[in-house]
Every structure is written in C-alpha cells, then in structure tokens.
Structure 1
C-alpha cells in the first residue's frame, strides 16, 4: 500500500501567514496552479482512492486531481484542519499562538487540542490501512493534519513535531 498525502493549494490567509484552521478560505490563483501541478505530478501514479477534508480549499485541490485521474472523492470529516478557536485569522507569528500550539493537551482558544487532532487522524489512518491494504490512497488535507500523519509514520520529539512543515501543494509518500 502506498499512502500519498498532500496539503491543499495556497489560500489568501496562507499568503498572509494567518491561522486558517476550520475557517473556509478559498484558494488563490497560485493555489489553483499548485493544485494543477500536483494533479499533473500524480497522474501517472496508480491512485485508487482520494480522501479529502470537507473544507473548500482541500476539496477544490482534490477536485482538480480527481478530474485529472478520473477518481471520485470521498469526503472524510476527520481530515478537517485543527480548530484553532479564537486564533483563527490571527498572524501565525504571534507570541500567544506560538506558545499555545506547543501546549499539546490544551484546546487552542476554545478550539481543539493537538491531542484531539492526533486521536481522530490516527484512528482514521488505522482504518485506512486495514480497509485499503491493497490500494493506493491519496489524502488531501491541511498543515496540521499532514504533521499528524507524519508523526504516525515517523518517531519525533515534540520539537521535531512542531518543526515539521508541509508546503501548500506538496506531496509526501508513505509506503506501508
């Protein structure tokens, strides 16, 4: 089994370095181009299933890929980005946000803790591996979810976890 994991294309808030979270922010022109490049890159892969977050930026990215490789999209709610609560829309560089996101058990600004995201994504990955063991699966999701997926397959310290970053439109492959 091969698991292909990609982050959606760029949004205006990504460009402005703002916390996106569960806010439904659309792709920029650059984000659409990143999605097209990603689709072009994976068109020769044998992808059996596309799973996508329900947020529009991920669904639009998945739709462009789906059109290229002629596969349906399964919307999977557990792939939604972390709910950052009151931090949504704020600059990612703010001291309050940078500190809060390193407190793994705490809900960020009334939103969701990293541990809650890990639980839902790890459970989903366990199900994907069990159900689609003989398939190649592509996931289109978000920065925090990509970070969690990476931690599922690779041991890392809290600092290494926090430092892990998937660029908009970037593809990572995991072989299971």
Structure 2
C-alpha cells in the first residue's frame, strides 16, 4: 500500500485574529478563510485526488467543499478528524490563561501532553482517533490520493504519532500548520513518510500521476 494524504488546515476563522483556541467550538470562516477554501479548490483541480474527507466542524467542511466540487466528489465527514477539545483553554487566548494561571500555561508550553489544559482531551486519545481515521482512508484508497481537511492541533498530533515523534512535543516539532496550506504524507505498509509541509495553494501542485519515491531515496 502506498497512499498519499494531502492534509489541509481549514481556512481562517473569526477567532484567528485574536489567536483564540477554537477547539470543538464551531467558529465561522472569515472572508479570507472562504477565499483560502476557493484557492484550495483551484489547487485540488490541478493536483487531483480520489477522495475528499473532512472534520465534522463547519470550518473544515466549508474549506473542503470547493475542492470536492472541483473534483466531482462528495465530502466524506469523519468524526475522528474533529479538533481537540481544549477544556479550560477553549475560546481563550494564551494571554488570558497566563493572567489567570501562568504555571498552567508554562506546563502546556513545555509539554502539551503532560501539561495539557485542565478538562482537555488527552493528547494520546486525540492521536489514536486521528491516526485511525487517516489510516482507514489510506486503506480505502490504496495507491490513491485523499485530500483531508482538518485542524491545526489535531493534524500536528497525528503527524507526530504517524512519524514516531513524542506527542507532547507537537508544538515544538510542528510550530503551526498554515490555514489552507497543504502538508503531504505517504502512508505505506512499512510506515509513514513526510513529503512536504505547509505548501501554499498558490503554488503549482505536482502532477497527480507522480509515483512514490524510489527505494533508497
């Protein structure tokens, strides 16, 4: 099996300007976020994909919709792709939380697993459901390509899990995924390879027919 997954963080939302943790709150896309979704649709039409999947949250589904329409596909909603719930941090900025409990913010910044915000979804649980969803998509589209629209934190945790990196270090290894940008991974029977990170949809995508990297590369 060699399946390619094109991982996309949804477009900009109304909370991005204030850098608030959206988590499981269903926050609307801004006009810029809708434009990023349209750019993704244009990019996907050139790149090609065999399926389009998204988180059930509206910001992800709306970002995926233009790409699905351009490809003549439906958006497959996967519950496992929902963003991490941030508990105490939900809907708040880091500055607001630090003013209330600076030690909690320090622990989170040091290790987002052991120092997770009170009441938040455990990082290991988020990793398990996200990687299960991604691997299932890869199995269903063996030797194909799937465009997956989800969320900044969930996708970074999943990348760490798939690549064998410490889950609590996801913020350090992958500081952020840009809104509307594409991160490509290749899931094989033998493991996962990271092919690109944060590629803007304003660039020309590689040909859809390009095959896996030769052995030994």
Find the aligned partners of 1:156 and 1:18 in 2 and give their Cα distance: 26
* Highest RCO, 1 vs 2 (Cα 8 Å, sep ≥ 6): 1
Q: How does 1:1-176 map to 2 (within 5 A)?
A: 1-93=3-95, 94-95=97-98, 96-97=104-105, 99-100=107-108, 102-105=111-114, 108-157=117-166, 161-163=170-172, 164=174, 165-176=176-187
- In the TM superposition, what is the alpha-carbon distance from 1:84 to its structure 2 partner? 0.6
The answer as to whether partners of 1:106 and 1:113 remain within 8 angstroms in 2 is no
The answer as to whether partners of 1:39 and 1:64 remain within 8 angstroms in 2 is yes
Q: Provide closer, same or farther for how the CA distance between residues 70 and 147 of structure 1 changes in structure 2, counting only shifts above 3 A.
A: same
The answer as to whether partners of 2:161 and 2:167 remain within 8 angstroms in 1 is no
1:74-132 alpha-carbon deviations (Å, 9 max, x no partner): 11011000001121111034433463363415663313011110111122223222222
Find the aligned partners of 2:147 and 2:6 in 1 and give their Cα distance: 5
Find the aligned partners of 1:112 and 1:97 in 2 and give their Cα distance: 16
- In the TM superposition, what is the alpha-carbon distance from 1:41 to its structure 2 partner? 1.4
- Could you tell which deviates more after superposition, 18-27 or 161-170? 161-170
| RMSD value, Cα | 2.1
Unaligned runs of 5+ in 1: none
Kindly report structure 1 stretches of 4+ aligned residues shifted beyond 6 Å: none
The answer as to whether partners of 1:92 and 1:98 remain within 8 angstroms in 2 is no
SS at match of 2:118: helix
- In the TM superposition, what is the alpha-carbon distance from 1:24 to its structure 2 partner? 0.2
SS at match of 1:4: strand
SS at match of 2:88: helix
Q: Provide closer, same or farther for how the CA distance between residues 152 and 132 of structure 1 changes in structure 2, counting only shifts above 3 A.
A: farther
SS at match of 2:15: helix
Q: How high is the TM-score relative to the length of structure 2?
A: 0.73
Corresponding residue pairs, total: 176
